[in-house]
Every structure is written in structure tokens, then in C-alpha cells.
Amino acid sequence: MQLERALQLLGHSGLPLPQGEAGGPAWLQAVIDALVELSSRDALTGLANRRAFELALSREIDRVARSGEPALLLTLDIDHFKRVNDTWGHTAGDHVLRAVAGALIDSVRPMDLVARVGGEEFAIILPNCASAFGETVAERVRRRVERMPVPVAPGQQITCTVSIGGAFAPQWVRSTAALWVERADQQLYLAKAQGRNLVRLEPTVVSVVSNEERRLLFETFQFQDHE
């Protein structure tokens, strides 16, 4: 019964059903792999969901702390999305969400992770993104969305825009995913307050180290001293 339900979920998701002899070890493993993939994806857009985003964000902040390599987090909101739903209906809103998701994927590298983290909220993790390229990448994303017509009804198209905030993970500092998101969100709020359809990034790669990050760093050194 559970296997039947799993196959129904895969069928409804649009993912291809496993090939080969049904019930065999390889076939069952393929079913499990497909369910794991499904659990990490947003059903509407096919992007990584919030759970997958948070796991990836924690891994990336740890990698940056160890390696010192730069990494950029972008947080995005679709501007005036409620107006789309109120004017054209929720089906049109879904078209906009899927179109924006596709534009984000088209604007970044395969190694970057694009996620839908809320209703009209998205986020992008960009590993190994040097500060010299951060503004360029974010502007490319913004322009790609701005120039994209979205069909919402027969013979009707609309355009939409996004506001983008960004922050680089503090290098060589044991930070937290929550603090990184908070910094990116602060820039997003600034972009929205200044008129929307804007990009705002933290002005420097090396963020001011917060009291919590100092505590984490101190605890790390204490742990190493006792090893």
C-alpha cells in the first residue's frame, strides 16, 4: 500500500517512474532515490524547497569558514505579487512564480542553488562567487526577470520585477546560516524601501563580525585548546 502511494506521488509530481523490473532491488532503489529528490523540491516550481535550502546553506557556511573562499547569498521577493493574484487570479500567480523560477535558473551557474523559500520569496546560494562579480550576477538576475513577458491569460502578458538583497558569508569566521540570511534580508528590505526592482548588496565582503560570531569563534578555539 505504501509503495502504491509512493508511485502515485511520483506520477503526480511529473518525475519519471523508475524503469526496469518492478520490485527488483535496482527498481526499489530508484523509487527511493526519486522520493528523496521529490522531498527536496518545491512542487510548483521544481526548485529546491526551504528544507533543501537550509541544509545547503549550513553546508556552505561551514565550507566558507574552513576554506576562506567567498560565497554570496541572494534573497529575492517578487514585487507587488499580491497585485498579480488580485488582478489576474491565483492561476496567473502560479504562472509568474514558475516563470521567475525559470529566469533565476537561467541566470546562474549549474553549481548555484536556487530555492523557493516562501510564497513569492526565493534565494540563491552562489559558492566561489568573488566580490567583484556579486553585483554583476545579481543585476543579471534582476534584468532577466524584468525583461521577461509572462502569459497570464489568452492574449494577455504581464511583466514583473524582483527586489534583491545580498550578503557574502564572512570568510574564516564560524558564523551561522541564520546570521547570513539576516544580513541578506537586511539588504533586501533596503531594496524594497528604496523603490523595488533594485539590487542591494552589503558594501564589503568582510562583514562586521557580530557578537554571536565572536562567541562561536571563541568556543571553537576553546575546543581546540582542550583536544
Q: Annotated active-site positions, please? A: 120
Among residues 54, 62, 77, the alpha carbon closest in space to that of 169 is found at: 62
Q: Please give the single-letter amino acid code of residue 128.
A: N
Q: Which helix (H) or strand (E) holds 91?
A: helix 90-107
3-state DSSP of 41-75: ECCCCCCECHHHHHHHHHHHHHHHHHHCCCEEEEE
> E strands along the chain, which residues?
71-78, 113-116, 121-127, 150-153, 156-158, 162-168, 199-201
The number of beta carbons lying within 10 Å of the beta carbon of residue 21 is 9
Report how far residue 96's alpha carbon sits from residue 122's, in angstroms, rounded to the nearest whole number.
Answer: 13
Structure-block grid coordinates of residue 160: 514583473
